[in-house]
Amino acid sequence: MTSIRRFFRIVSILLLFLFSIIFFGLLKGVISLFSRTKGDQMIFYIIKPFCTLIRWICDVRIQVEGMENIPSRNGYLVVANHYSYVEALSTMSVVPAVPVSKSEIRDWPVFGYAARIGGVVFVNREKGGLSGTYIEVLMKKLKKGINIIFFPEGTTTDSTYLKGFKSALFVPANRLKAPVLPVVSTVIAIDGKPVPPDQKDLIAWYGGAPFIPHAMRLLTFRSIDLKFKICEPIIPDYDDSSIEERRKFAKQVQRRMDAALREIAPDYQGIRDE
């Protein structure tokens, strides 16, 4: 049964991505001939139903607190804790946003091309000195009314703690005085059973674990239950020319997410500023 389930999900996800590449890629291309902004906005509006459909295929169930905190107007920055591709896609099924992602994904077969069509902002973590370029790219998207999601820890964890936050990508929201919306999540069950701390890696993808074996195992689960908490948005207002002020604001967001995780994740251990 698990092999049949995995096969069905792999085929369904591949077909969904291929359809999206062909249909929405062509549609975006046509619209962009008349207006690049309209083309980008059209793709942005399909992100939420697209991620919801993937979540349905994989039977990822979610509980969400704080829906009332989502800003009524688009063009805000979403920040979230990060432990897997599962929670990232699930977050975007609740709060539509274009993700900031590592540059390696650009070259992935099928998924990389779909990400490029979707307007993903690719960040090269190995090459320093590009913060200014990324800030400008994100500001342009926010001005178009496109929400951005990024993961300030800069990498994934086992979900039981928060790493230190990178501060540079908060700057676009500060310069535009756009809301920063903190969102946190945790795994509460697999196949209806609670997940003990020593089995977090069944969902969490971290520490250099190979992607394909991890994804193949994950696709065999009957269901996955996640819990989300959406915090109150913060309107940034600080001197972003000062690295200390940047870090101070990042700490403010981190503390809010830390408090939210303590409410929803019993095995959460706190902040590790590594």
pLDDT tens for 109-127 read: 777 888 888 888 887 765 5
Q: Identify whether 132 is part of a domain.
A: yes
Residue 111: predicted pLDDT = 79
The model's pLDDT over 210-243, given as tens digits with 9 standing for 90+, comes to 888 999 999 999 999 999 999 999 999 999 999 9
Q: Are 71 and 147 in contact (CB under 8 A)?
A: no
What are the beta bridge partners of residue 190? 193, 224
Number of domains in the chain: 1
Whether 220 maps to a domain, the answer reads: yes
CA distances from 143 to 39, 41, 42, 74 (A): 14, 11, 15, 9
Beta-carbon contacts of 65 under 8 Å, excluding residues fewer than 6 positions away, are: 227, 228, 229, 230, 264
pLDDT of 266 > 60? The answer is yes
Q: Residue 111: which domain range?
A: 2-268
Nearest CA among 197, 200, 202, 206 for reference residue 267: 197
Residue 81 lies in a domain: yes
Q: Is pLDDT at 17 greater than 60 in this prediction?
A: yes
How confident is the model over 80-98, as a mean pLDDT?
A: 95
pLDDT at 129 (0 to 100) = 44
Q: Which residues contact 156 (CB under 8 A, 6 or more apart)?
A: 82, 83, 84, 204, 205, 206
In a domain, 215, yes or no: yes
The pLDDT value recorded for residue 160 is: 92
| 244 has a pLDDT exceeding 90 | yes
Looking at residue 126, its pLDDT comes to 58
Q: Cα separation of 105 and 121, whole Å?
A: 10
- Tell me if the pTM is above 0.95: no
Check if the beta carbon of residue 224 is closer than 8 Å to that of residue 58.
yes
- Can you tell me the distance from the alpha carbon of 156 to that of 88, in angstroms, rounded to the nearest whole number? 11
- Give phi and psi for 231, each to the nearest 5: -85, 170
Residue 9 within any structural domain of the chain: yes
Whole-number Å distance between alpha carbons of 107 and 123: 13
Q: What is the DSSP letter of 24?
A: I
Structure tokens at 201: 């890696």
